[in-house]
């Protein structure tokens, strides 16, 4: 029994020694660029290049999708925003060919773009979301390093917020109108409601102006 335990311990020690030697070798050959420091729940990753850390924070927080592919178009990195745009778990994007998420008709154009384009070039294609719905996007080639291409991805769908805001304002308007009818005998209440209506109309005009800048001639709101 003791012999068995000794053999098990020897095997564990040999494994740990082998791993330590592998870490040492990888460091000497420059094959690692980050370390996990701390223990238990206090672990954190220490990157060898601080500049990269700042870059990464920008990529993770920006409103655009970002993706890095190798020379064969396999996804090596994607930010959370892209996963949201595609309605796809982030983990499923890794190593998948980028083609998987591009409409069939756009694949050849994208392949040639990745092969031939220089930094800051752009292309517009339709991506395919998890629910198979097309997602029109603009891809901008941000960096080209060591055969890897990093692309920034901008959603080209019309913004959703104006129509949602208009809907919300319309709902408020309806409520104000109902209150107006119920409180017809209360002068003070009617004055307050008139003030609210004025505020709503002000907001509606602001939205109209913003929409007009983006799409001249498009008016989407009405006054109370």
If one asks whether residue 191 binds another protein (CB under 8 A), the answer comes out as no
Q: Does 44 bind another protein (CB under 8 A)?
A: yes
Residue 133 binds to another protein (criterion: CB under 8 A): no
CB of 37 to another protein, least distance (A): 8
The length of the chain in residues reads 224
Q: Is 138 in the site for another protein (CB under 8 A)?
A: no
Residues 214 and 49: their CA atoms lie apart, in Å, by: 41
Among 131, 146, 188, 191, binds another protein (CB under 8 A): 146
Q: Which of the ranges 45-53, 104-112, 183-191, 207-215 carries the binding residues for another protein, by CB under 8 A?
A: 45-53
**Among residue numbers 4 through 33, which ones bind another protein (CB under 8 A)?**
19, 22-23, 25-27, 29, 31-33
41 near another protein, judged by CB under 8 A? yes
Both tokens assigned to 210: 């913003």
**161 binds another protein per the rule CB under 8 A:** no
Contact with another protein (CB under 8 A): which of 64, 65, 68, 200?
A: 68
Near another protein in 92-121, by CB under 8 A: 94-95
Q: Judged by CB under 8 A, how many residues of this single chain contact another protein?
A: 38
Structure tokens at 134: 């097309």
Q: Does 148 bind another protein (CB under 8 A)?
A: yes
Indicate the helix (H) or strand (E) that contains 35: strand 34-37
Cα–Cα distance between 146 and 176 in angstroms, integer? 62
Rounded Cα gap, residues 224 and 175, in angstroms: 11
Distance CA 11, CA 54 (A): 42
Pairing of strands 122-128, 134-145: antiparallel
Beta strands, E only, 129-182: 134-145, 148-155
Residue with tokens 């040639």: 112
Choice between 48 and 206, CB closer to another protein: 48
Residues whose CB is less than 8 angstroms from the CB of residue 60 and which lie 6 or more positions away in sequence, other chains included:
79, 80
Q: Return the half-sphere exposure (C-beta side, CA atoms, 13 A cut-off) of residue 48.
A: 7
The answer to whether residue 159 forms part of the interface with another protein (CB under 8 A) is: no
By CB under 8 A, the residues from 70 to 89 that bind another protein are 70, 72, 74, 76-77
Binding site for another protein (CB under 8 A): 19, 22-23, 25-27, 29, 31-36, 38, 40-41, 43-45, 47, 49, 52, 56, 59-60, 68, 70, 72, 74, 76-77, 91, 94-95, 145-146, 148, 150
């Amino acid at each position: 029994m003791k012999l068995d335990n000794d053999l098990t311990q020897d095997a564990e020690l040999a494994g740990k020694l082998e791993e330590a030697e592998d870490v040492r070798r990888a460091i000497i050959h420059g094959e690692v660029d980050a370390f996990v420091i701390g223990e238990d729940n206090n672990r954190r990753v220490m990157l060898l290049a601080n500049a990269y850390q700042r870059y990464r924070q920008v990529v993770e927080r920006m409103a655009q999708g970002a993706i890095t592919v190798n020379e064969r178009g396999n996804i090596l990195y994607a930010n959370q925003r892209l996963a949201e745009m595609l309605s796809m778990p982030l983990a499923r994007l890794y190593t998948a060919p980028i083609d998987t998420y591009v409409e069939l008709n756009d694949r050849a154009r994208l392949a040639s773009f990745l092969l031939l384009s220089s930094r800051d070039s752009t292309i517009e294609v339709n991506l395919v979301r998890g629910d198979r719905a097309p997602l029109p996007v603009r891809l901008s080639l941000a960096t080209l390093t060591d055969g890897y291409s990093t692309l920034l991805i901008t959603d080209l769908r019309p913004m959703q917020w104006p129509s949602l805001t208009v809907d919300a304002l319309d709902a408020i308007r309806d409520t104000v109108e109902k209150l107006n009818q119920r409180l017809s005998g209360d002068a003070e209440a009617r004055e307050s409601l008139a003030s609210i209506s004025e505020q709503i109309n002000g907001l509606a005009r602001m939205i109209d102006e913003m929409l007009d800048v983006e799409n001249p001639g498009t008016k989407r709101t009405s006054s109370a």
